Structure 1
Amino acid sequence: MGMVGYTVALVVITVIASPCVYGKQLSDQQEIKVQRLLKRLNKPAHKSIKSEDGDIIDCVPITKQPAFDHPLLKNHTIQMRPSFVPEGGSTFTKKEAKAITQVWHKNGVCPDNTVPIRRTKKEDILRSKSIESFGKKRHKSFGKGTHQSNPGEGHEYAIMNSRKGIYYGTKFVINMWRPEVEVPNEFSLAQTWLASGDGYDTNTIEAGLQVCPVLYGDNNLRLFVYWTSDYYQSTGCYNTGCSGFVQTSKVITPGGSFAQVSQYDGAQYGLPMLIWKSSGNWWLMIGEEYVGYWPGNIFTSLGDRATTVQWGGEIVNQRTDGRHTNTDMGSGHFADEWYKKASYFRKLETVDGANTLREPQGLYPYASNGNCYNIKAGEKILKALPVETAFKFPSPLPTFTQGGGFAKGTIDLGGLEVSQVPTFNKVWSTYEGGPDNLGVTFFEPSSVPTGFSILGYYAQPNNRQLFGWVLVAKDLSSNNTLKPPVDYTLVGNTESLVTKQDGPGYFWEPVAPDGYQAVGLIVTNSSQKPPLDKNKKLDFSTMPNGSQTGVLSNTYSPLIYLHPDEEYLPSSVNWYFSNGALLYKRGEESNPNPIEPNGANLPQGGANDGSYWLDLPIDKKGKERVKKGDLQSTQAYLHIKPMLGATFTDIAIWVFYPFNGPARAKVKLITLPLGRIGEHIGDWEHVTLRISNFNGELWRVFLSQHSGGEWIDACDLEFQEGGGSNKAVAYASLHGHAMYPKPGLVLQGNDGVGIRNDTAKSKKVFDTGLGYEVIAAEYGGEGGGVVEPPWVNYYRKWGPKIDYSVEDDVKRIERFLFGALKRAFVNLVKKIPDEVYGEDGPTGPKLKGNWAGDEK
């Protein structure tokens, strides 16, 4: 059975597998027990519907359902809808969101204010091992939080495990198959588990699809829910077999069957499911329908959060004749057969503490009987070893016009010629530890050019595609710049390391001849020393020239997506000046000057001493219009500079916004506008492309975020949709314009409290490679031949000092908060970064710290 971008031959479930007593004569006492249980489970109905699958669906008043027999729910107030749903993440397609209908719908619908409940029959109870165990699990499948610790009792699993953490839900699409079950007291299922606690305090919430003849009396594919708060000892049950799960939907019932099932190499059906915590309760949503919830107060450790999430399949093998059962898991085919043949979970996501859906990281598979059932992960969640998944750009690299030493493949360091080797042979791997607990792999360069010597090896985590290089060098001088080592010193090995690895790895440091410096380490999978010949002022001509920069910009300059609700758009600097922006001088505030379109009348040079600043037009209409910006006029302003000894070229792409909007705070589940906090005039943001001068390949992208930012490796970028384009995609946050590599919510804070940075894809998008101007450059000793526009050398503020009382805004918000929420908000205000207040006007690009140096 697959999982979110995987493939997995599996189907999931834990269930009761019990010998039948059906058909045996009941004692009078047993008959009384059965009738009492039937009366408790089958509440009086307003309407009953006979389904073609043999079920009877009772439409029970929502306030009279079995859930409220639970002693902790006697005075429970029904929550008809969740207070909120998780933000961000993937979206279900319209077809998925509509969801699959249950069979009973063909013969009727339940009235408003009722919920559909599958009627329990006498024979249903008698199929159970005992009357007391009806609808309950007998086995303890979780052990210490995972199934592999105690499969037992014939239960076999193929599951994907999350790493230990804090989880508030999960979202996925589950492939719908009707697995064959060989004998009536076996079952097969596919489900998710959310769990917390240890030992007999283990709490679980479970939901999925199952074929379970002992529970339902047939081999139909059915929806189920389950829960326990004491490790399956005395609490919890399937569906409405006991009190606990509260139904709110009148169209979907736990225990109901589905007619649509997937066919081998044919039509595929998927059921979209979402479980998450809202206002203390754990909600279940299928497609767009709120099915119901597990009240938080029936749990102990799950009353707060889950610590593990699992997705996968389970069967029970009850054969006692030495032969393994023929009961299928999922489609009955191994994961290796992939889509349309093996069952899957896809679009796997988990809910974090900020109520945001995220792709789970660090998942690891477990199959209790790999000879019969297995599970595999697709690249989106568990990436294959990097040697098998080398990163490639969506489109071939451009062909550059000849000129200078740019993109020639080698660089002359003055008698020492160096080159990059981006192809590798795997040397050794470990498969645990490191990012996402997936280990790391070491490589030696392959295809080393003739006459060149290796200067080191390459290593990277296994959770990403292979994207790197090793420098090799060739001595062009007569001074013996390079010499082989005279020996190697073993500096470490992994012989005693208790972890999954390709045998021991050995790390060797070269011993350099007198007067030389050792470079790099050698890694081997043998305790034998490597051979001694194993390891053996920059010219600005390596920088791209003007035409080559044009090609680079058109090829790599990113698309910047603005939030669909963004009202403060970017503009060109000329548009801003031409539409009423004013230059103020200290002491002459009553007589501001209009700014010429190219900024020719701006003061040049000097220092940011507060003598001058820019501001919006004075008239109210003009001010509001200019604050909104003008997307059509927007230009990207490029600064090209050498980096890392001119082995790379940085193209800093600056974007101007006339106005930065107000910030919003998130305090647990509440979003609060922060008045004018965060507002300022004249907002400069930038993206920096780092390009290899060896071959013109994009290496990394820097995204500015308030007063900082982050580097994103090219292999981790999102590229323009449709394929065939090497343009990266960046997302500008609502009002604040900080840039991020993925859409969704990024919280400046922790534990669900902080400043919101909301990003999303929209029709408001700016292609920085279409409208750009080079404002400063260093091309091959020419000084770039670029005339810097006057506004670049304006070293003063691009906005005024904003005078407003933060205390008033804070006190206004505090009046609406109480208790823990109020304390959380007060603590947040104390920690708000200075740049969010934005009281002082920002400076232009040339006064930013990265103009003359590297990104911080």
Structure 2
Amino acid sequence: MATVTIRSAHFPNCYLRLDGTAVTRGFDDGAGTVNIQGYAGPWETFRIEKPAGEADDVVVIGSTAFPNVYLRVDASTVHGFSDPGSGGVNAQFGHGPYERFRFIPQSDGTTAIESVQWPGVYLRMDGAAPVPVPTPFGIVNCQASIGLYEKFIISEVSHSLTRADLEQAISTYAPVLQLHPNEAYVNTSIEYFLQHSTLVDSKSGNRIVHPAIDQLPQAGDDKQFYLELEDGAKGGDFSSAKAYVHAYWVQGMSYTDLQFWLFSAYNGPGTAHINGLVFDTIVHTGDVNLAPLGEHFGDWECVVVRIDNDTKEMTNIWLSQHSGGQWFDQEQISSSFRMAQGTHPIVYSSRNGHANYPSADSNYTEHYKVPPVGIPAGIEFFLRNDTANGGLSLDCSQNYQIVSADWLKGADAYPVPAWVTYPFRWGPEGTATHISANTVKQIIQAAAGPLAPFLPGSLLLLLAAEILPFFVKDDVNGPGAPITKSTWNGGY
């Protein structure tokens, strides 16, 4: 039994993908979704098995991510060549006649995948209109002949990186984090944070001043524990800063994700950029400090560098940006990132909020436009995520700690610090910042400048009520540890 990826020979980086989430039992018409992905992960790897009692060249194609789920072809409607292809391809729990295939070698070194139930019918992949990874796309169906869309490259999945491979990849491709020159809340270490914090047990009332890492609790009631940071330590200590590396790989993946987790003791306030509009023309522009909105204790951000396990080269980068993130493929890396020493991507951290971007810019997010009814005036609203050169920089190839690479065992394993598995808050529990529509009204009024006299109070309150949800992004309680986030397990 081999574990393989099935890639289109005609469409680069188009891999067969099987989503068997809904396949929990046998279905007459099959179930699940089969389409295309721009990389090979767990849902894009398959087990090639030989079913009992069949000829030696007959195989079934099982999902590695979904036990006992197999690729299924229904070619009952395929009656000859069809330009867009025809028939149905999905999944089945267990395998029968519709799940049997033959691999037919081609003279150019590729492989066609023929249905045993319907001889002369072949699996077809159309990746002509892909979208940026990691969104699934494309069409997988059937064809009654072998052409460009019916040829595949079937490759055995590579093994995991060794400890030496992992450390070499960090040495070669780790990012350089560039801070804004006016950053008030710099990156710091876990040790610094704990040396200036108190661990609070809300159930017993016990307090541990300046707890050691090994004193962090690993279990308890919901919200039982939290950390209180001293106000004087909010700015952090950049001299102690490092990247905390979680190397993510599971059986069946052809790549390893190097997750560089970056920690700041405090997340500063947001900045709003507001344009006053008349007939969609900007007549006044203002920036507003939203303090205390956006502020919270402890801040985790992440830069992911994806390494191909065969070539040991960087193929993708993912940057965390507040509650979301952004993927970059090889072509986008070349066009979007500056490189330090040729191979280390320079990543820009936004002022106060620490979101990550590939260049120095204003990086506007949360665009919101409110054109009032009945008068030719309006408000355009953005959040600023300013990045710039000239500030401190953190070379993550020199300042890092590997905290998790769980496929490595024995002498090759890395110890997992207790803060990684601490499941509680990095800030106080039960506190939040609040802002009223009236306060937002005053902010809009100040930012509108000369336009303000033309905006009646009732209209301003209406605008404020519309925009208010965009101002409330965080409470001050602080995040949980990275292991509690979906990113930790590849949920980018």
TM-score of the superposed pair, with normalisation by structure 2: 0.65
Residue equivalent to 1:415 = 2
Residue equivalent to 2:253 = 646
Residue equivalent to 2:216 = 602
Alignment of 1:576 onto 2:193: yes
Alignment of 1:514 onto 2:108: no
User: Does the C-alpha gap of structure 1 residues 841 and 742 become closer, same or farther in structure 2, counting only changes over 3 Å?
Assistant: same
Paired residues for 1:299-698 under 5 Å? 414-415=1-2, 479-480=56-57, 489-492=81-84, 512-514=115-117, 519-521=123-125, 530=146, 535=151, 542-578=159-195, 580-586=196-202, 592-597=207-212, 599-606=213-220, 609-617=222-230, 623-624=231-232, 626-642=233-249, 645-668=252-275, 669-698=285-314
User: Does the C-alpha gap of structure 1 residues 584 and 697 become closer, same or farther in structure 2, counting only changes over 3 Å?
Assistant: same
Distance (whole Å) between structure 1 residues aligned to residue 126 and residue 186 of structure 2: 52
Question: For residue 612 of structure 1, what is the amino acid of its counterpart?
Answer: F
User: Does the C-alpha gap of structure 1 residues 547 and 528 become closer, same or farther in structure 2, counting only changes over 3 Å?
Assistant: closer
Alignment of 1:754 onto 2:368: no
- Per the alignment, in what secondary structure is the counterpart of residue 832 of structure 1? helix
Distance (whole Å) between structure 1 residues aligned to residue 419 and residue 269 of structure 2: 26
Distance (whole Å) between structure 1 residues aligned to residue 443 and residue 13 of structure 2: 59
In the TM superposition, residue 784 of structure 1 has moved relative to its aligned partner by 6.1
Distance (whole Å) between structure 1 residues aligned to residue 433 and residue 145 of structure 2: 69
Contact 2:257/2:305 (8 A) holds in 1: yes
Contact 1:561/1:761 (8 A) holds in 2: yes
In the TM superposition, residue 652 of structure 1 has moved relative to its aligned partner by 1.4
User: Does the C-alpha gap of structure 1 residues 763 and 830 become closer, same or farther in structure 2, counting only changes over 3 Å?
Assistant: closer
- Per the alignment, in what secondary structure is the counterpart of residue 292 of structure 2? coil
Q: Please identify the structure whose Cα radius of gyration is greater.
A: 1
Question: For residue 330 of structure 2, what is the amino acid of its counterpart?
Answer: A
In the TM superposition, residue 512 of structure 1 has moved relative to its aligned partner by 2.3
Distance (whole Å) between structure 2 residues aligned to residue 443 and residue 417 of structure 1: 17
Contact 2:298/2:427 (8 A) holds in 1: yes
Q: Give 1 or 2: higher strand fraction.
A: 2
User: Does the C-alpha gap of structure 1 residues 828 and 683 become closer, same or farther in structure 2, counting only changes over 3 Å?
Assistant: farther
Distance (whole Å) between structure 2 residues aligned to residue 595 and residue 574 of structure 1: 9
Contact 1:629/1:657 (8 A) holds in 2: yes
Paired residues for 1:117-132 under 5 Å? none
In the TM superposition, residue 490 of structure 1 has moved relative to its aligned partner by 2.1
- Per the alignment, in what secondary structure is the counterpart of residue 746 of structure 1? coil
Contact 2:316/2:330 (8 A) holds in 1: yes
Alignment of 1:826 onto 2:456: no
Contact 1:563/1:733 (8 A) holds in 2: yes
In the TM superposition, residue 528 of structure 1 has moved relative to its aligned partner by 11
Question: What's the C-alpha RMSD, in Å, of the aligned pairs?
Answer: 4.3
Contact 2:3/2:45 (8 A) holds in 1: no
In the TM superposition, residue 743 of structure 1 has moved relative to its aligned partner by 2.0
User: Does the C-alpha gap of structure 1 residues 647 and 676 become closer, same or farther in structure 2, counting only changes over 3 Å?
Assistant: same
Q: 1:389-423 CA deviation, whole Å, 9 max, x = no partner?
A: xxxxxxxxxxxxxxxxxxxxxxxxx33555879xx
Contact 2:201/2:226 (8 A) holds in 1: yes
Contact 1:667/1:824 (8 A) holds in 2: no
Contact 2:4/2:157 (8 A) holds in 1: no
In the TM superposition, residue 604 of structure 1 has moved relative to its aligned partner by 1.0
In the TM superposition, residue 533 of structure 1 has moved relative to its aligned partner by 12
1:785 to 413, 426, 434: 413
Question: For residue 593 of structure 1, what is the amino acid of its counterpart?
Answer: I
Identity across aligned pairs (percent)? 25
User: Does the C-alpha gap of structure 1 residues 588 and 789 become closer, same or farther in structure 2, counting only changes over 3 Å?
Assistant: same
Residue equivalent to 1:772 = 400
Distance (whole Å) between structure 2 residues aligned to residue 459 and residue 702 of structure 1: 16
Alignment of 1:730 onto 2:373: no
Structure 1 unmatched runs, 5+: 1-413, 428-441, 446-456, 461-466, 494-508, 618-622
Residue equivalent to 1:851 = 488
In the TM superposition, residue 753 of structure 1 has moved relative to its aligned partner by 0.7
Contact 1:628/1:658 (8 A) holds in 2: yes
User: Does the C-alpha gap of structure 1 residues 644 and 810 become closer, same or farther in structure 2, counting only changes over 3 Å?
Assistant: farther
Distance (whole Å) between structure 2 residues aligned to residue 600 and residue 563 of structure 1: 33
Distance (whole Å) between structure 2 residues aligned to residue 592 and residue 416 of structure 1: 52
In the TM superposition, residue 806 of structure 1 has moved relative to its aligned partner by 2.1
Greater length-normalized contact order (CA 8 Å, ≥ 6 residues apart): 2
Q: 1:751-798 CA deviation, whole Å, 9 max, x = no partner?
A: 441221111122311112211111111235669612211111111000
User: Does the C-alpha gap of structure 1 residues 544 and 782 become closer, same or farther in structure 2, counting only changes over 3 Å?
Assistant: farther
Distance (whole Å) between structure 2 residues aligned to residue 459 and residue 698 of structure 1: 18
Contact 1:571/1:634 (8 A) holds in 2: yes
